[in-house]
Amino acid sequence: MSDADSFETPSPDGGDGRDQGKGWFARLREGLSKSSRRLVDGISSLFTKRKLDSATLEELEELLITADLGVTTAAKLTQNLARDKFDKEVTGDEVREAFAADIAAILDPVARPLTIDATQKPFVILMVGVNGSGKTTTIGKLAKRFRAEGRSVMLAAGDTFRAAAIEQLRAWGERVGAPVVEKPHGTEAAALAFDALTRAKAEGTDVLLIDTAGRLQNKSLLMDELAKVVRVLKKQDPEAPHATVLVLDGTVGQNAHSQLKVFKEMVDVTGLVVTKLDGSARGGVVVALAETFGLPVHAVGVGESADDLRPFEARQYARSLMGLEG
Amino acid sequence: MFDGLSERLGSVFDKLRKRGALSESDVDAALREVRVALLEADVALPVVKQFIEKVRVRAVGSEVIKSVTPGQMVVKIVNDTLVETLGSDSQKVSVSATAPVPILMVGLQGGGKTTTTAKLAKRIAEKERKKVLMASLDVTRPAAREQLKMLGEQVGVDTLPIVPNESALTIAKRAMTVGRLQGYDVVFLDTAGRTSIDEALMSEVRAIRDQVKPHETLLVADALTGQDAVTTATNFDERVGLTGIVLTRIDGDSRGGAALSMRAITGKPIKALGVGEKVDEIEDFHPDRLANRILGMGDVVSLVERAAETIKEDEAERMAARMAKGQFTLDDMATQLRQMRQLGGLGGILGMLPGVGKIQKALAGANVDEKMFSRQEAIITSMTKAERKNPQVMNASRKRRVASGSGTQVQDINRLLKQHMEMSKMMKKVGKMGGGKAMMGMMGGGMPPGGPGGGGLPGGMGGLPGGGLPGMGGGGLPPGLPPGFPGKRK
C-alpha cells in the first residue's frame, strides 16, 4: 500500500482563507510554473527569431515530451506547427501560442465539471485509482465543495485495506461535517458500499462519496473486487454509481494510459480528477489522455488545501502549460 | 502500447539481416526506435540522449561489424549499457554504523514512504537481527502516524509513541533519544510527503537531517513517475542529500524508466524495490532485470548467459563427442530435457527472445504441453540402465512396466521412443557432416544468421536439431520461427 493519499495542512484557517483574491488560473499557473518555466525557457532559447527547420522541430518535440505529453502527441503537435510555419521565421512566443491553441483544442471537449444530478438521491460517486494517487484527499475536497453548495454528504470508508485509511477519511468527515460509514479494517469493500448506500437512502443524503482502496490496474484480483463493488451497488440502484471518478496522480508518466484503459474497462470510469499538479514538471499526460480516451476531466488538484481542487478549464490549462498569461 | 519496441526493432533488424553488416545509418535507424521506446518507458529526455549517444559510440565500428548478426549485437550493447547505467553493483540499505543508526525516508506524497519504511524495518529486524524503531514525522496528513503505528503492529516492529502537537523536528529528536536510551540498533524516520519545490517543507527536512545526521537518506519514489522523476530526484538530492533510492510500485505495469532517470541523474544507487502491497514484498535491486523491463524486449544476452550456466561444459563436450560418433542414448535425451526445463521450459526460452510476442501467441494455439517434458523425463528415469543404452530391447512387457512406473501410458512410451529414434538419426547425419565441432559451435551460443533478432539458441537447444521437440507432437512449430530454433525442419 502507499502511505499517502496526499495530505492536508490542518492550518488554523484550513487553507481556506488564503489567496482568496487569486483566480484559480493564477494558482494553477503557479503550480505549473516550474513545468512551464522549463518549457518556456526551452522554447525561447530555441527561437529568438529563427527559421523553423527540422532540427528545431525535433527539439520542440522533445520539449513537449519532457512535459509528459508522450511521443505521439508531441509529434502530432510539432507536425501541426510545421504545416503552418515550416521554413518561416518564428519567435518563441508564436510557437507557444500555436502550441497552446492546439492543446486547448484537444482539451476543450473534455473539460466538463462533475455535475450532481439532484434527481438522484443519493447521487453516488465511486472514487477509484492506483495507490497514492490522492483518492481520500480528493474525496475530502469534493465533500467540502458539495457541503458548501448546501448538499448533505455521506462518506463511505471503502478503503478497508490500507492502515489508517479509515481514520484519514474520518478526519475529513469531521472537518467538513459529513457522516462516515465505516466497518472494521479488512471488511469486504463491496459489503461496506452496499451498507453505505442503504444508509444514505434511508437518511435522504444528497451525495454519497465512496472511497476505495488504491490498486494497481494490473492486479486482476483487486480489479475484480472493484467490479464487485459496482455490481453490488447496482443491486440497490441500477443507475449507481452515477459517477465513477478515476483519481490520477499528475506526476505519473505514460503509465496513465494503461491506468485509464484498465479502470475504464473494469468499472466504466466516467471522468478524471488529476492531482498533485502543484509540484514540478507535469500535466502533459492529460493532453495525451484527452486525445486517446476523450473522457471528461472534472477537476485538477493544485495544492494541499481544500480549495485547491479546481474545475478543469481547457484554454487556461493549455496556456499555463505553455507558460502564457491568461 | 508497450509491446512496441521488440516489434519495431524486429522490423529494423529484418532490414539489417538482409545486408549482413551494420552501417552507421543502420545503427541510427535502430537507435531511433530505441529512443522512442525509452521515452515511452518514461525515461527522462536528457538521460535518453546521453544513453543513446553512449550506445551509438559503441555500436558504430568494429564491435558490430565483426559480429555475425549485427542486430543481436545492437540489442546486446543497448542492454549492457542499460545495466551499466543502472549500476552494475547491487547495494543494500546499510545499517553498519554506531547504534542507533538513523535512516531518513523522504519523498513526494503518495510515493509509498510509510509502507516502504515498514517493509524495510521488518526486513532489517528479521534478516539482520536488529532492534528497530520507527517514528513517523508526518504531522500534516491526517492519520499518517496512526498508519505507521498500525503497520508497526502488523510487522512486529516498535513505533515511537505518538505525542500530539509535536513538531517534526521534536519527534525526530525524541526518536533518537528513545533509540539511544532503549538500545535500538536502527531508527527509521518517516517524513511527511512533500512536493520537491515546497521550500518550507524542504527546510524542515534539512533541519531534521542536520539534527540526526542520518546514515542513510533514502528517496522513496514511484516507479510510475513520468518525466518529472529527474526534477524530483535532483531537487531532493540537492536540498537534502540522498544516499540511495527505493523504487515502489514496481509491481505495476509501468516500464519503470523513472529508475534509469533517477539513477543516471543523481548517480545514487537504487537500494530496494517495493514489489507489492504486503509487508514483506520488498526486494533487492537487480540492474539486469530492470534493464530488461525498460527495454521491454526479451533478453537474448541473458538467454545465452543462462544457457552457459546451465549446461556444464564437460557434459556438453562428452555429448558432442558421442554425437559425432552417432551415439545418442535415452540418457542424453533426458539430459537435454532437463536442460530445457532449467532454462524455464519452452515458454521461458521464448520469453527471453525478442520479437516473440507473435510466436508465443502461435504457440499457445499449437498445443505445446510443457508438462510433457517432465513426463518424458519420468519415462526415461523409469527405465533400466540397459534399456536406456539400448532402447531396442523395449518390448511390450517392458513398456507396460515403464508406463506404470512413470505414471504414463504405453503409447507415451512409444511416442518417446519414436522421437528418440528420429533424433538419433538426425544426430548421425550431423555427425557425418563433421558434426562434433559444428555442434559445439552451436552450443557456445553462436548466432545462426537469419534469426529475427533471435537466433543464438544455446547448447541444449542446439543439440536438438531437426528431430522435433519432444512434446511437440506432430504439430511442429509455427512458421516464421528463426532457423536454429528447434522445430521440425521440412
Q: How close is the nearest chain A Cα to the Cα of B227, in Å?
A: 6
The Cβ of residue B136 has, within 10 Å, a number of other Cβ atoms equal to: 30
pLDDT for residue B65: 42
Q: Are residues B122 and B263 in the same domain?
A: yes
Whether B185 and B325 map to the same domain: the answer is: no
Is B475 contained in some domain? no
Nearest CA in chain B to A133: B110
Question: DSSP state, A297?
Answer: E
Q: What one-letter code names the amino acid at B386?
A: A
User: Taking the mean position of all CA atoms in its chain, how far away is CA A240?
Assistant: 21
Residue B274 and residue B132 share a domain: yes
**Cα–Cα dist B281/B60, whole Å:** 42
Inter-chain CB proximity B193 and A1 less than 8 Å: no
Residues B342 and B382 in one domain: yes
Per-residue confidence (pLDDT) for residue B110, from 0 to 100? 81
How many beta carbons lie within 10 A of that of residue B97, not counting itself?
15
With beta carbons under 8 A apart, name residues in chain A contacting B106: none
A216 reaches B (C-beta below 8 A)? yes
- What the block records as the C-alpha cell of B78 is 543497448
Do B328 and B219 lie in one domain? The reply is no
Is residue B269 a part of any domain in this protein? yes
Q: Find the angle CA(B256)-CA(B260)-CA(B264) to the nearest 5 degrees.
A: 160
Query: Do the chains contact at B222 and A132, CB–CB below 8 Å?
Result: yes
Q: Does A3 touch chain B (CB under 8 A)?
A: yes
**What CATH number does the domain containing B222 carry?**
3.40.50.300
Report the 10 Å Cβ neighbour count for A56.
20
pLDDT tens-place string over residues B37-59: 888 888 888 899 999 998 888 87
- Output the pLDDT for position B17: 54
**Residue A126: strand, helix, or coil:** strand
How does pLDDT run across B156-211, given as a tens digit for each residue? 999 999 998 899 999 999 999 999 999 999 999 999 887 766 788 888 999 999 99
Q: Which of A1, A7, A162 lies at the smallest CB-CB distance from B109? A: A7
Query: B354 φ, ψ to 5°?
Result: -75, 155
The sheet with strand B132-136 has its strands ordered as B158-159, B132-136, B186-190, B101-107, B216-222, B244-248, B270-274, B282-283
pLDDT at B191: 93
Question: What kind and span of H or E run contains A38?
Answer: helix A24-46
- The residue range of the domain holding B73 is 4-86
Based on the domain organization, do B105 and B254 belong to the same domain?
yes
More confident residue, B437 or B155: B155
Answer yes or no: are the C-beta atoms of A321 and A284 closer than 8 Å: yes
pLDDT of residue B16: 58
Asked whether the beta carbons of residue A162 and residue B232 sit closer than 8 angstroms, the reply is no
The answer, yes or no, to whether residue B467 has pLDDT greater than 60, is: no
SS3 A142: helix
Q: Do A279 and B195 count as a contact with CB atoms less than 8 A apart? A: yes
The answer to whether A293 and A75 have CB atoms below 8 angstroms apart is no
Partner-chain contact B141 A134, CB within 8 Å: no
For residue B81, the distance in angstroms to the closest alpha carbon of chain A comes to: 22
Q: Are residues B280 and B193 in the same domain?
A: yes
Could you give the count of Cα atoms lying within 13 Å of B184 in the half-sphere of its Cβ?
26
Helix pair angle (A92-107, A24-46), 10° resolution = 130
Give the Cα separation of B248 and B282 in Å (integer). 9
Residue B490's pLDDT is 32
Q: Which of B287, B292, B374 is nearest to B91 (CA)?
A: B287
> Would you give the distance in Å from CA B312 to the centre of its chain?
23
Q: What span, in angstroms and rounded, lies between the C-alpha atoms of A3 and A185?
A: 16
CA A177 to chain B, closest CA, distance in angstroms equals: 16
| Domain annotation covers residue B302 | no
What does the alpha-carbon distance between residue B490 and residue B486 come to, in Å, rounded to a whole number?
A: 12
Number of Cβ within 10 Å of residue B432's Cβ equals 10
CB of A315 less than 8 A from some CB of B: no
User: Distance between CA atoms of B121 and B475, rounded to whole angstroms?
Assistant: 53
Q: Determine the residue of chain B that is closest to A278 in CA distance.
A: B195
Q: What are phi and psi of A88, to 5 degrees?
A: -100, 160
| Structure confidence at residue B293 (pLDDT) | 75
pLDDT per position as a tens digit, B313-351 = 556 666 667 666 667 788 878 877 777 666 655 555 555
Q: How far is A280 from chain B (nearest CA, A)?
A: 7
Out of A172, A255, A282, closest to residue B228 by CB? A282
CA A15 to CA A10: how far, in whole Å? 8
Structural domain tally of chain B? 3
Interface of A with B in 131-170 (CB under 8 A): 131-134, 161-165, 167-168, 170
Q: Do B251 and A216 touch (CB under 8 A)?
A: yes
Q: What is the pLDDT of residue A35?
A: 60
Examine the fold and report which residue of B233, B265, B293 is the final residue of a domain before the chain moves on: B293
At residue A11, what is the residue type? S
Q: Which residues of chain B does A277 touch, with a Cβ-Cβ cutoff of 8 Å?
A: none
What residues have CB less than 8 Å from B29, skipping those under 6 apart?
B12, B15
By CB atoms closer than 10 A (0-12, 13-18, 19+), residue B101 is buried
| Shortest Cα–Cα distance, B356 to chain A (Å) | 21
Chain A segment 89-108 residues within 8 A of B by beta carbon are none
Model confidence at B271, pLDDT cuts 50, 70, 90, reads: very high
Half-sphere exposure of B203 (CA within 13 A, CB side): 2
Q: Does A212 touch chain B (CB under 8 A)?
A: no
What kind and span of H or E run contains A312?
none
Looking at residue B369, its pLDDT comes to 64
Q: B473: Cβ–Cβ under 8 A, 6 or more apart, which residues?
A: B367
Contacting residues of B for A255, CB less than 8 Å apart = 42, 224, 226, 252-255
Residue of A nearest to B35 (CA): A71
- Average pLDDT score, chain B: 75
Chain A environment of B109 (Cβ under 8 Å): 4-7, 132, 134, 276
Comparing CB atoms, the residue among B1, B141, B198 nearest residue A4 is B141
| Three-state secondary structure string covering chain B | CCCHHHHHHHHHHHHHHHHCCCCHHHHHHHHHHHHHHHHHCCCCHHHHHHHHHHHHHHHCCHHHHCCCCHHHHHHHHHHHHHHHHHCCCCCCCCCCCCCCEEEEEEECCCCCHHHHHHHHHHHHHHHCCCCEEEEECCCCCCCHHHHHHHHHHHHCCEECCCCCCCCHHHHHHHHHHHHHHCCCCEEEEECCCCCCCCHHHHHHHHHHHHHHCCCEEEEEEECCECCCHHHHHHHHHHHCCCCEEEEECCCCCCCCHHHHHHHHHHCCCEEEEECCCCCCCEECCCHHHHHHHHHCCCCHHHHHHHHHHHCCHHHHHHHHHHHHCCCCCHHHHHHHHHHHHHCCHHHHHHHHCCCCHHHHHHHHHCCCCCHHHHHHHHHHHCCCHHHHHCHHHCCHHHHHHHHHHHCCCHHHHHHHHHHHHHHHHHHHHHHHCCHHHHHHHHHCCCCCCCCCCCCCCCHHHHCCCCCCCCCCCCCCCCCCCCCCCCCCCC
Residue type, B299: D
* Residues making up chain A, counted from first to last: 326
B13 touches B38 (CB < 8 A): no
Element (H, E) at A46: helix A24-46
Q: Are residues B278 and B193 in the same domain?
A: yes
For Cα atoms B201, B206, B211, give the angle at the middle one, nearest 5 degrees: 125
Tell me, yes or no, whether B132 and B270 share the same domain.
yes
3-state secondary structure of A180: strand
Per CB-CB distance under 8 Å, the chain B contacts of A219 are: 251
Distance CA A76, CA A120 (A): 41
The reported pLDDT for the residue numbered B199 is 83
Residue B67 is assigned to a structural domain of this protein: yes
CATH of residue B14: 1.20.120.140
What pTM was estimated for this model as a whole? Answer: 0.70
Residue B150 and residue A217: Cβ atoms within 8 Å? no
The answer for residues whose C-beta is within 8 angstroms of residue B91's C-beta and 6 or more apart is B244, B269, B271, B285
Nearest-by-Cβ selection for B143 from A62, A164, A256: A164
B260 assigned to some structural domain: yes
Q: What are the CB-based long-range contacts (under 8 Å, 24+) for A79-85?
A: A81/A52, A81/A57, A82/A52, A82/A57, A85/A52
> Does A6 contact B224 at a Cβ distance shorter than 8 Å?
no
Chain B contact for A2 (CB, 8 A cutoff) = yes
Collect all residues of chain A within an 8 Å Cβ-Cβ radius of residue B147: 3, 162-165, 167-168
Considering only CB atoms, B109 lies closest to which of A6, A216, A219, namely: A6
Residue A122 pLDDT: 95
| Cβ of residue A171 closer than 8 Å to a chain B Cβ | yes
Q: Indicate yes or no: CB of B249 within 8 angstroms of CB of A134.
A: no
Q: Is residue B480 part of a domain?
A: no
Average pLDDT estimate for B227-247: 90
Q: Give the closest-approach CA distance of A73 to chain B in angstroms.
A: 12
- Min mean pLDDT across A21-30, B240-249, B455-464 is at B455-464
Question: Which chain B residues contact residue A1 at CB under 8 A?
Answer: 112, 115, 277
To 10 degrees, the CA torsion angle through B5, B9, B10, B12? 150
- Is B477 a residue whose pLDDT tops 50? no
Tell me the pLDDT of chain A (326 aa) as tens digits: 444 444 333 333 333 334 444 566 666 666 666 666 667 777 776 666 678 888 888 888 888 888 889 889 999 999 999 998 888 888 888 888 999 999 999 999 999 999 999 999 899 999 999 988 889 999 999 999 999 999 999 999 999 888 888 999 999 999 999 999 999 888 899 999 999 999 999 999 999 999 999 999 988 889 999 999 999 999 999 999 999 999 999 888 889 999 999 999 999 999 999 998 877 656 789 999 999 999 999 999 887 777 889 899 999 889 888 877 66
Q: What is the DSSP string of A201-237?
A: HHHT-SEEEE------TT-HHHHHHHHHHHHHHHHH-
The owner of cell 503537435 is A77
Check CB contact under 8 Å for B109 and A132. Answer: yes
Nearest Cα residue in chain B from A171 = B142
Is residue B304 included in any domain, yes or no?
Answer: no
Separation of alpha carbons B326 and B309, rounded Å: 26
- Who among A134, A257, A281 is closest to B227 (CB)? A281
Question: Which residue from B110, B115, B141 is facing A8, i.e. has the nearest CB?
Answer: B141
Q: Residue B413: which CATH number?
A: 1.10.260.30
- To test the contact with chain A by mutation, choose from B167, B228, B236, B249 the residue with the greatest count of A C-beta atoms within 10 A, namely B228
C-alpha–C-alpha distance, residues A290 and A318, integer Å: 12
Based on the fold, state whether residues B62 and B175 are members of the same structural domain.
Answer: no
How far is it, in rounded angstroms, from Cα B40 to Cα A142?
33
Model pLDDT, residue A305: 78
With contacts defined as CB-CB under 8 Å, which chain A residues touch B140?
7-10, 304
Using a CB-CB cut-off of 8 Å, the residues of chain B touching A218 are 251-253
> How far is B131 from B134, CA to CA, in rounded Å?
10
Interface touch B39/A71, C-beta < 8 Å: yes
Scan for cell 518555466, then name that residue. A37
ipTM: 0.77
Mean pLDDT along residues B350-378: 61
The pLDDT score that the predictor gives to residue A43 is 73
- Cβ atoms of B425 and B466 closer than 8 Å: no
Q: What percent of chain B has pLDDT over 90?
A: 27
- Give yes or no for A254 touching B (CB within 8 A): yes
Total beta-carbon pairs less than 8 A apart between chain A and chain B: 195
Shared-domain flag, residues B107 and B186: yes
Measure A2 CA to nearest chain B CA, in Å.
4
Q: What is the pLDDT of residue B402?
A: 92
Q: Are residues B325 and B225 in the same domain?
A: no
Beta-carbon contacts of residue B355 (< 8 Å; ≥ 6 apart): B6, B7, B9, B10, B297, B298, B452, B453, B454
SS3 A307: helix
Question: Which of B334, B197, B217 lies closest to B269, judged by CA?
Answer: B217
Bridge partners (DSSP) of residue B159 are B134
Residue at which a domain ends, from B53, B86, B119: B86
The answer to whether position B244 is within a domain reads yes
Q: Where does a domain end: B233, B263, B293? A: B293
- C-alpha dist (Å) from residue B471 to A282, B20, B475: 52, 35, 10
How many of the other CB atoms lie within 10 Å of CB of A117? 10
Distances (CA, A) of B378 to B30, B212, B334, B339, B460: 46, 61, 9, 14, 19
Chain B residues in contact with A304 by the CB 8 A cut-off are 140
Q: How many residues does chain B have?
A: 490
Tell me the three state secondary structure of residue A286.
Answer: helix
Q: What is the pLDDT of residues B19-35, one digit of tens each?
A: 555 677 777 877 888 88
Among A111-125, B267-281, B288-302, which stretch is predicted with the lowest mean pLDDT? B288-302
Tell me the shortest Cα–Cα distance from B43 to chain A, in angstroms.
9
